[in-house]
Structures are given as structure tokens and as C-alpha cells.
Amino acid sequence: MVEPDVVVVPAGDALLGDPPRTEHVNIFAIARHPVTVSEYAAFLDATEHAPPVNWSTQRVAAERAVENVSWADAVAYCRWLTVGSGRIYRLPDEREWEKAARNEGTLTGLGALREWTNSWQGGGRVVRRGEDLAERAFAGTDFRGIGFRIVRGMTGR
């Protein structure tokens, strides 16, 4: 198991959303890039967890972001990493994701890939993407183009 390369984002106020509003965000450490196919493959091999749709096609591009992952699968990955490393790993809430995405140079791999957050609103899990940092979307049952990056907890939660 390889722990992700994370960057610490200090606690403080951030201008988030559309229309923009000031919100306080606690300190956290977020992975610089989304979980890759090779990182996810290590999880699948260790746990015998069911692979995502089109896994055989994804496996040929080991360093690309894993896609077609459900929210529950992303949470299972976080649990596996937490147990194996002794550190707390989880999905970012959408405030954390947006604050990190707006800090130039903090995150890589931002683009069309939609990424899971741990936020729930309007009856669904919120996904975010790099093409429009203020846009919020909600995932249904179609996980195409959805991946995730993780946060290492720094406040004991």
C-alpha cells in the first residue's frame, strides 16, 4: 500500500461557491491527484472488492485516474487505506475540495473528471469537477466519469 502524496491546506476563510461567500475551512491534507488505476488495483487485489465497470479497459492506463467508481467503493478504499496506514483517510467535503482546487498549484488532474465528495445535498452525493470550480452536480446511478481523491484527516475526525 502506498499512501498518497498530500498537500496541507491551512485552516482559514475561503471565498467559495456561486454566488461567492466566505466560509471557514479547518486544516486538512488533500491528495494532489485523484486515486489512480494502479492505486485502486492494489486495493482490489488486497480486498477482493468488486472492480468498477470496464475495469479491464482501465487497467491498461495504470497512472490515469480510476473512473466509474461508486461513492460506496470510494469510501471502502478510504477505509482500507485508513486500516493499513494507521492514519485517517476520507473523502473531502465539498468546501475542502473547492478550497484546494482554487489554490493554484495545489491539485493536479483537475478537468472533466467528476470527483466524489463526502457532502450530501438535495437528496444526493455531491460531485465536483475542475472545469467549473463553482458548479455542483449530484450523482445518480451512472458512475461514468466519476473518480475521487482523498483527504488525510488532521483534526482527529
Contacts of 108 (CB under 8 A, 6+ apart): 32, 33
Whole-angstrom Cα distance, residue 14 to residue 3? Answer: 27
Contact 134, 143 (CB under 8 A): no
Full-model pTM: 0.94
Q: What are 101's three cell numbers?
A: 482546487
pLDDT in tens, 120-150: 988 889 999 998 888 888 888 889 999 999 9
Whole-angstrom Cα distance, residue 42 to residue 45? Answer: 5
Q: What are 54's three cell numbers?
A: 470496464
pLDDT in tens, 69-114: 999 999 999 999 999 999 999 999 999 999 999 988 889 989 889 9
Which CATH architecture group holds 6-151?
Alpha-Beta Complex (3.90)
Closest to 94 (Cα-Cα) out of 155, 37, 23, 34: 23
